[in-house]
Chains A and B, each alone.
Chain A
Amino acid sequence: MDEHIIELKNISKNYGDLQVLEHLNLYINQNEFLTLLGPSGCGKTTTLRIVGGFESPAEGDVFYRGTRINDLPPYKRNINTVFQRYALFPSMTVGENIAFGPTLSKKLSKKEIDRQVDEMLALVNLSGYGNRRIDTLSGGQQQRVAVARALINRPDVLLLDEPLGALDLKLRKEMQIELKHIQVESGITFLYVTHDQEEALTMSDTIVVMNDGKIQQIGTPQDIYNEPKNSFVADFIGESNILKATMIRDYEVEFLGRRFPCIDTGFGENKPVDIVLRPEDVELIPVREDRPSGTVVSSIFKGVHYEMRIVCGEDLIVSQSTRYVEPGSSVSIDVTPENIQVMEPSDLTPTLIAAKKAQRVRLEVRP
């Protein structure tokens, strides 16, 4: 069994009347790349700051290798942080910034510190930058200095708070790969916070989706994408069609007025459920009586595929396919059983459906 390096038990936190975290339970395994993913205000940064020791929980306990560390100040935790806006010290050079941690303890000789700084600079691809001033570096370089400064203390856990938020798309993609590389290379546990689902899917071993101070789902990127537990997760991760449906019985679900075979069981008979269909799983076929049908209102070329929008009664369905379908044509919709993801109904679903519809209609109207 993996060792739980960090464990959060029943953590709650509030700022005045605002409940930020509600009875949160979570553990992080040794050497894991774990990402807290959610919209802003979901409590992900607060969770990270509690692990770092910058905030203390109102309720609940934080454990580090089984020891309770609620009252341990940040500088006594073997955990380091890469801050959102890097927080590099402006009065020091790149090398001095990286050496900050080791020079504090005075345990190492200057020569040894210099050697370690060079090693860190090499790790983050900044060899030769030691004497540069911070304000002469680009955003991506500052980012890497921040990572090096945090890693030189050889922490057991590295906390990263939206570290790529300020970078442009191309640099962000490069840094995603580089960070993952650094994590594998150094063997350090990463706790990563982001609102960018693609970033989370690319780098993580485990993703924790959060909303409103509660964990919605914990799983591998594949789990989260392919089998979202509820409509919030489905909506947050990737494009999706979320529909109200009825579970007729095991292996049979009804939506858009038709019955479909599915692979889910255990919801009971004639129970309301939510379902999610990924656009790439929605097949457009010639009109068939036993399948819902509708009219294609738009076909947009997206590069790898076309994106079709189909008005189907009250609903607006998005389908992605490499095959072009003429707008105005009548089609039926089909989905293979394993691509229908059945979920417990959520209070959030009607809002999500309405928001999606409004957004899609708005896109349609655009000239």
Chain B
Amino acid sequence: MKKQKSALLALPMAIWLLVFVLIPIGVIVYYGVTVTGPDGNLVFSLSNFARFADETYLKVFLRSIKIALYATVICLVLGYPVAYICARGTERFRTIVMLLLMLPMWMNFLLRTYAWLSILENSGLVNRILGQFGIERIQFLYSEGSVIFGTVYNFLPFMILPIQNVLLKMDDSLLEAAYDLGATPVQRFLRIVVPFSVPGVISGITMTFVPSVTTFVVSQLMGGGKVPLVGDIIERQFRVVSDWHFGSAVSVIVMIVIISMMVLMNKVDKSDVDERGVIL
């Protein structure tokens, strides 16, 4: 009786997952493995996948992975100290920093990125200030660097929040115990804090890496079309070329690659699988 009731409670969730997750993925996979035949009907074919094995596409794909990796590593290096300082700081300090971090997120994604365009463009704010000091104009935009910058800017909070959440759960007495047993501050950080924060780091990496690989807004604006990413290929197939089959196939490939990378990463730290759950 009780079991039936709880099964009933899960029903809305099940319907949600079916309608908004499973069916769309099914449709994408279906489009990916079909092409329009000569008679106008859809026929099974793997040619979409074969098309992707072209040097141009593979280059774009590898670039996407590379840029996402750089962005993720930079987010981790910048975000971890912030998360650590916030978690160790007072409630008040934490609220202020979190507010400052979240404030830009309440603005539209596109708008925020446009704002950086006007700051970094050739006649933008930075170059004008540099000009005052007689420094020649620097071309910031439309490079891999600017795309990485935009990605880091947009996804940094997603790295900080999960790490901070995990570190907040760490009892002060753990640090005192390490200190007491003879650990120097560095040893204490490396041997106690870092292992403790692994679940947060993994979800932080996931939450920055995945959207970084698939973004196309950042690469189009900050890269000015000169640094196309795999997201751009997909977007182009749907909106410009209208080849939904190829676009779907590329989506499926990206999905498989990302899932494989995540599984691999989870294997690295399987010691506390039960504590995580959420990230994959």
Contact = CB atoms under 8 A, between A and B. Distances in A.
B6 interface: no
B35 to A, nearest CB: 51
A104 B173 contact: no
B183 interface: yes
Contact of B173 (A87, A149, A150): A87
Given A75-B182, A104-B181, A149-B181, A91 B271 contact: yes
A80 B176 contact: no
A104 B183 contact: yes
Q: Top 6 closest A-B pairs, CB basis?
A: A87-B173, A91-B195, A87-B177, A101-B181, A75-B182, A83-B173
Contacts of B271: 91
Interface in A79-113: 79-81, 83-85, 87-92, 100-101, 104-105
A301 interface: no
Contacts of A80: 180-181
B91 interface: no
A85 B272 CA distance: 21
A288 to B, nearest CB: 59
A81 B176 contact: yes
Interface of B: 171, 173-174, 176-184, 187, 191-192, 195-196, 198, 271-272
A52 interface: yes
Contacts of A150: 180-181
A80 B195 CA distance: 23
A140 interface: no
Interface string A51-68: 010100000000000000
B187 A83 contact: no
Given A87-B173, A89-B195, 10 more contacts: A75-B183, A75-B184, A83-B177, A89-B174, A89-B177, A91-B195, A91-B271, A100-B183, A104-B181, A153-B182
Contacts of A85: 171, 173
Given A84-B173, A87-B173, A91-B271, A104 B187 contact: yes
Nearest to B271: A91
Interface of A: 52, 54, 73-75, 79-81, 83-85, 87-92, 100-101, 104-105, 149-150, 153
Contacts of A88: 177
Contact of B179 (A74, A84, A89, A149): A74
Contacts of B179: 54, 73-75
A80 to B, nearest CB: 6
Contacts of A74: 176, 179-180
